[in-house]
């Protein structure tokens, strides 16, 4: 009788160099996140053209501008449990197809009501794509480089938003604002075809769901030829959970609930800072005496400051990741506070804005990797997606917070002090998560986590 050879899938991934196949998965996920950033920011690029072509006031754009944010939240909250039940691959492909098709159709909008509805649907697709790309990539990554790889992939989001701005500046004068939405729709639709043909299912997901060993072997063999001789596959999780539990039950289980809430609170507060400053900083700086052009230039330094994301991922892989990201949030809070103190000096102001952008964007971009490492495979899709979904409401809250502070005529240093407090809350949330984290690891995998034939 032929000897049965059992392979621990994660151990095999850890032992092998990052293969061409894994780089292919990375490339597909990177382009997904890139187009996610492009389509999320697209409405901001076309807003001035909408005002002039449809002869509407700025206030009338509020529903359109917020529709995608609500859609992003809904998409993330729905897609997480679906990916843990149906698989990463199918949910990710459908999400890309949805946001591509709805963005393409939105180019045909004839009024604000149509555009608002289609932006919400686009947001649902975007909200499903981002967390599942993070989850899939994390499950194809070796343990020692997971945060670095996921953070590198996540760099596609700000790159897509920034690249979209340059493209929009060229496309709109030449072809009109609808061309931006057409591009934002056609590329994801082509990408969805590529995903349907080439994107593999997560190996860890297939083992957890006891999929046929032939399917697992076929994918794992593209990472290492050693897998071709395997007849059984096992997977060891770093955290305990009851066998058979689904994504939602794991995320809300007693052993994960506090950590889940702290992740939600942290990401929520980080987006309070990001959207509060991105949406209102040009106005605040103009009120402080800067010309509109200079205010826009200085404000643009904040979203560009995501340069530290990969470095943060490397530190997370080497040191305690909760503490690394907590330090980034705390330092970002100090830098945001300093923006309010540097209003009289343009040089110091630019340094403070850029530094705050580097720290806050680095911390935010590192959160998906942190969430992916916190949950076991059976609940990872829900855990990552729900953190991103709940956090989206922080973006809405941040815009309203700064608007209300301005209405109450709070001083500019006071406004930045209040916003900076959100970073301090994020820091404390991660420290609480770390302090209460279980030190137990799994030595024996529950039956529901092992596939053997």
Split at pLDDT 50, 70, 90, the class of 346 is confident
Greater pLDDT, 280 or 363: 363
Among 92-101, 126-135, 391-400, 413-422, the minimum mean pLDDT is found in 391-400
Span 74-127, pLDDT tens digits? 998 888 888 888 888 999 999 999 999 999 999 898 888 898 899 899 989 988
For the chain, give every domain's residue range.
Answer: 6-234, 248-435
Greater pLDDT, 254 or 93: 93
Classify burial at 170, counting beta carbons within 10 Å of its beta carbon; exposed 0-12, middle 13-18, buried 19 or more.
exposed
CA torsion sign for 323, 276, 42, 103 is positive
The correct answer on CATH 1.20.1250.20 for the domain covering 248-435 is yes
Same-fold call for 6-234 versus 248-435: yes
Q: Which CATH number fits domain 6-234: 1.10.238.10, 3.40.50.300, 3.90.78.10, 1.20.1250.20?
A: 1.20.1250.20
Examine the pLDDT at 233 and tell me if it is beyond 70: yes
Examine the pLDDT at 260 and tell me if it is beyond 80: yes
CA distance to 362, 375, 439, per residue, from 366 (Å)? 6, 15, 22
Residue with tokens 């996921």: 150
Span 25-54, pLDDT tens digits? 999 999 998 888 887 777 777 777 777 788
What is the spatial distance between Cα 16 and Cα 267, in angstroms, rounded to a whole number? 33
Examine the pLDDT at 280 and tell me if it is beyond 80: no
The pLDDT of residue 28 is 93
CA distance to 73, 129, 137, 199, per residue, from 88 (Å)? 18, 10, 10, 10
pTM of the model: 0.80
Span 143-194, pLDDT tens digits? 888 888 888 888 888 778 777 777 877 888 888 888 888 998 999 999 999 9
What is the spatial distance between Cα 415 and Cα 435, in angstroms, rounded to a whole number? 31
**Percentage of residues in the chain with pLDDT exceeding 70?**
91
Examine the pLDDT at 243 and tell me if it is beyond 60: no
């Amino acid at each position: 009788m032929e000897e049965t050879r059992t392979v621990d899938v994660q151990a095999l991934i850890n032992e092998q160099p990052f293969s061409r196949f894994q780089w292919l998965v990375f490339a597909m996920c990177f382009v997904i996140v890139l187009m996610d950033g492009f389509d999320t920011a697209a409405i901001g690029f076309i807003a001035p053209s909408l005002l002039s072509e449809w002869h509407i006031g700025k206030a009338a754009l509020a529903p359109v501008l917020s529709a995608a944010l609500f859609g992003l939240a809904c998409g993330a909250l729905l897609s997480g449990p679906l990916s843990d039940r149906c698989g990463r691959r199918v949910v990710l492909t459908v999400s890309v197809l949805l946001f591509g098709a709805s963005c393409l159709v939105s180019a045909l909008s004839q009024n604000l009501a149509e555009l608002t509805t289609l932006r919400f649907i686009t947001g649902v697709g975007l909200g499903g794509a981002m967390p599942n790309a993070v989850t899939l990539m994390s499950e194809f990554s070796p343990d020692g480089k997971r945060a670095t790889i996921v953070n590198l992939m996540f760099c596609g989001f700000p790159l897509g938003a920034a690249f979209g701005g340059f493209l929009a500046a060229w496309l709109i004068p030449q072809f009109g604002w609808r061309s931006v939405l057409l591009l934002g729709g056609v590329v994801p639709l082509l990408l969805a075809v590529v995903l349907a043909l080439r994107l593999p299912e997560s190996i860890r997901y297939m083992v957890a769901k006891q999929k046929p060993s032939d399917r697992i072997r076929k994918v794992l063999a593209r990472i290492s030829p050693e897998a071709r001789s395997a007849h059984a596959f096992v997977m060891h999780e770093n955290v305990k959970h009851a066998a058979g539990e689904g994504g939602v039950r794991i995320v809300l289980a007693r052993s994960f609930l506090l950590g889940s809430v702290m992740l939600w609170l942290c990401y929520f507060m980080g987006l309070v800072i990001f959207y509060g400053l991105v949406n209102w900083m040009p106005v605040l700086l103009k009120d402080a005496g800067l010309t509109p052009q200079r205010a826009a230039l200085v404000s643009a330094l904040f979203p560009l400051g995501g340069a530290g994301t990969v470095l943060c991922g490397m530190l997370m892989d080497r040191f305690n990741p909760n503490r690394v990201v907590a330090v980034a949030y705390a330092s970002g809070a100090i830098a945001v506070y300093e923006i309010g103190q540097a209003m009289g000096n343009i040089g110091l102001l630019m340094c403070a804005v850029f530094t705050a952008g580097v720290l806050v964007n680095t911390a935010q971009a590192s959160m998906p990797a942190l969430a992916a490492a916190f949950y076991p495979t059976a609940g990872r899709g829900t855990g990552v997606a729900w953190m991103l979904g709940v956090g989206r409401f922080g973006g809405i809250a941040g815009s309203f917070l700064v608007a209300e502070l301005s209405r109450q005529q709070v001083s500019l240093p006071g406004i930045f002090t209040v916003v900076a407090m959100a970073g301090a809350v994020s820091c404390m949330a991660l420290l609480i998560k770390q302090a209460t984290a279980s030190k137990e690891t799994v030595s024996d995998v529950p039956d529901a986590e092992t596939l053997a034939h």
